[in-house]
Amino acid sequence: MRTDHFIRFERVDAVEQTERGLLARLHGEWLRLEAVRSDVVRVQLSRGGVFDEQPTYAVCVDPFDGDGDGDDGVAWRAEPGEDAWRLTTDDAVVTLWLDPFRLDVHRPDGSVVVESVPDEDGRYWTYATLNDAWTMRRRIGRDDAVYGLGEKGGRHNRRGRDFTLWNTDVLNEHATAEFRAGLDTDDPRADMRSVEFDPYYVSIPFFHHLDTTTGAAAGSFVDNGYRGEYEFSRDDEYRVTFHGGQWTEYVFAGPSMPTILERYTWLTGRASLPPIWALGYQQCRWHAYSQADVEAIAKRYRADEFPCDGMWLDIDYMDGYRVFTWDSTRFPDPEAMLKGLANQGFRTISIVDPGVKHDPGYEVYDDGVEKDVFCRTEGGDIYIGQVWPGNTAFPDFATPEARAWWGALNARHVESGLAGIWNDMNEPATGEISPLGMLFDKGRAKHERFHNQYAMLMAMGTLEGLRAARPELRTFILSRAGFAGIQRYAANWMGDNQARWDHLWVSMPMACGFGLSGQPFVGADIGGFQGDTEPELFLRWMQMGALTPFARNHSEVGVIEQYPWSFGDEIHGLAREAVRLRYRLMPYLYTAFVRASETGEPVQRPLVLDHQTDPEVIDVDDEYLFGRDILVAPVTEAGMTSRSVYLPEGDWYDWHTGELHAGRQRITVPTPRERIPLFARAGGAIPMWTEAPPSTDGYRPEVVELHVFDPVSDGRWESLLVEDDGLTVTDGEPERLTTTVVVSRSGGEVSVSYETSGPGYAGHARTRFEVVRHGR
């Protein structure tokens, strides 16, 4: 983005101390610098002398109630000076330079968190504005790394590239035209099917900046929903620009990446604990199924003894793509179908788009018009876009009235027996019609303010409705688009990917980018959504996808079938074994989701999150940790018979052979057709079911295996197992059992002990653990 006409803020006129920090006057505006926690600082700059106290719906707590008890407990002091004022906490020193205006944040040891940077003329770009847009420039080391920004293609390390934050229907040629314009035809960003294309469906203005020299990390979250630009392609500075709204930023001093993520998810919320069935394998296909077709597919899964928990219905289950309807010809008795599937252990999820068909006489449209809950244009018309049903109106989710109306529609929809809701086309996608005429908040807010937040507000309304309908049950919502905080309401899948090897690969850094941005419940369409998959690609994707947080097989209409049984007996059997491993690991996976709900840590995690001081993991994005103790190294190319795997610090057991390997080295591992490389951390105790059930429904085993991987050196390792009914919501203390397993080694002797706490839960059936030892 060009900034040559921007007007810099260059001098601070006055500074005073306030109850929470500093208040400065500059260029006719006010600047707030406030200590949120000892390692988190908030920066706010007014517009027109007024602060926007709720720029987005991302922050869900009072930032100044640090631990939720009404007492922030942050110790800080202000130090005036002739050239600068300083705001100091135990973990951060904020320096406000007066003339020229600069804003720097350091740690007490002097290491850099944030530093303003001068241009070639020596003038600082701490803040500059042009009309409604604003920009800032900051220092970055030549070899430093950047992670986050939510859903982005390409390498996990964002350094060396530029990104736009604008939720986009990636395969819509109209929505992507401006981002492809002017690029050479051989530039991968000019191809919306490329793994390098940008922007994507989800925009999260939060990133980690890793100083690769010291291993210290800092974080930045700009609480702004307008279109954003992040430029990380320059050698010694990065630039951030937003096209509207105020500068409201939370700066995280770190230096630990897990701590930064914990603080960020404290601000923006953490994923609710999902129902356990949502962690099972999911079957989906865009196809004009009949009721008999769906029932036959379910029957085939059970006959094949192929574990499966979810049956999904895409847009063709509706009557003419009218949301909250059923095609009565294809589905003459949906309630009976859903009940029959439930009796076999299947939950059913249907798609619900935000676009309401412009169709006077259609109940949902007429009711929306009567209640005045649709978005308007500047002239007062109901905004009309173009989606599957043709002309469509869009609920004004920026208003609580529209969210409540939408929630009630979803509540009524699931009365048929549906278990969850799938939100698609919610960027919002408007086809060949520009979305910019769609105004929000009853016409008072322009489109750009809420565009990136639209999907999150839609999920918010959906969640309210589902909770009202079934207050005792956990909800499940899947969303294509999202913004900072989407994890509070919905899981995300990665949209319309391709049946290609590079899309299998890119799902790894994309998932890890999500995870480092607060969203732990993510997954890509297994096999690829668009295009004809191949047997080998499908198998390798199944083997990887079974070890990701969300595991759904999905493809579009018009491509070859990609059911597990579509490629012959061998592929069918090997895919079944991959999914059976997922189900046996369900206690481990479920516990990882408990941790995510409590601390914000991701389930699928890049190696750099746990090993940020190891320079070898800075650019590793073809392997990942699944939970804390399992390393997954998928096959990413056709015909691959072996691959290189980097093992981080510690000791690692080959899952398949039991061979022990020391960490901080690369090894070459064979990749026979029947498996992908997996490693277990020495010292880990991985809880597993003894068998893979047909589904999680009603499965209450009497025995849980503890797979203990002997530590090599002396030390102590803790692992966790959380057990509950996997379905219900409880007030107060959760109705669960929490078992802490301690594996220790001393003087060549390995010991295993455990302690279980908690009130328990109805239906608990486990009577014992069986320890399965791996090692010497």
Q: Which residues are catalytic?
A: 424, 427, 496
CB 592 within 8 A of CB 271: no
Q: Long-range contact list for 173-177, CB < 8 A, 24+ apart?
A: 174/431, 174/432, 175/427, 175/429, 175/430
Give the pair of three-digit tokens for residue 367.
């009711």
In three-state secondary structure terms, 429 is coil
Q: Sort strands 202-203 and 685-689 into parallel, antiparallel or unpaired.
A: unpaired
Amino acid at 326: W
What are the φ/ψ torsions at residue 230 (nearest 5 degrees)?
-120, 120
Give the pair of three-digit tokens for residue 419.
């278990």
Task: Decide: residue 346, CB within 10 A, 0-12 exposed, 13-18 middle, 19+ buried.
Answer: buried
Please enumerate in sequence order all residues whose Cβ is within 8 A of that of 31, keeping only pairs 6 or more positions apart, or say none: 12, 22, 23, 24, 25, 43, 44, 45, 46, 96
Give the pair of three-digit tokens for residue 313.
């219905």
CB 537 within 8 A of CB 504: yes
H or E element: which one contains 608? Answer: helix 607-610
Instruction: Output the CA–CA distances (angstroms, integers) from residue 502 to 92, 497, 531, in the order listed.
Output: 42, 10, 13
CB 420 within 8 A of CB 473: no
CA distance 10 to 517: 33
CA distance 688 to 218: 37
In three-state secondary structure terms, 353 is coil
- The position carrying tokens 């002097």 is 110
CA distance 372 to 499: 42
Q: Long-range contact list for 120-123, CB < 8 A, 24+ apart?
A: 123/8, 123/10
CA distance 291 to 332: 7
Edge-first strand order for the sheet with 145-148 is: 14-17, 21-26, 29-37, 40-45, 247-252, 217-222, 206-210, 145-148
- Omega within 30 of 0 (cis) for the link into 199: yes
From 481, 438, 450, 383, select the one nearest 244 (Cα to Cα).
450
H or E element: which one contains 574? Answer: helix 569-584
Task: Decide: residue 27, CB within 10 A, 0-12 exposed, 13-18 middle, 19+ buried.
Answer: middle
Quote the strand ranges of 162-201, DSSP E. 162-165
CA distance 304 to 297: 11
Please enumerate in sequence order all residues whose Cβ is within 8 A of that of 64, keeping only pairs 6 or more positions apart, or say none: 20, 34, 36, 72
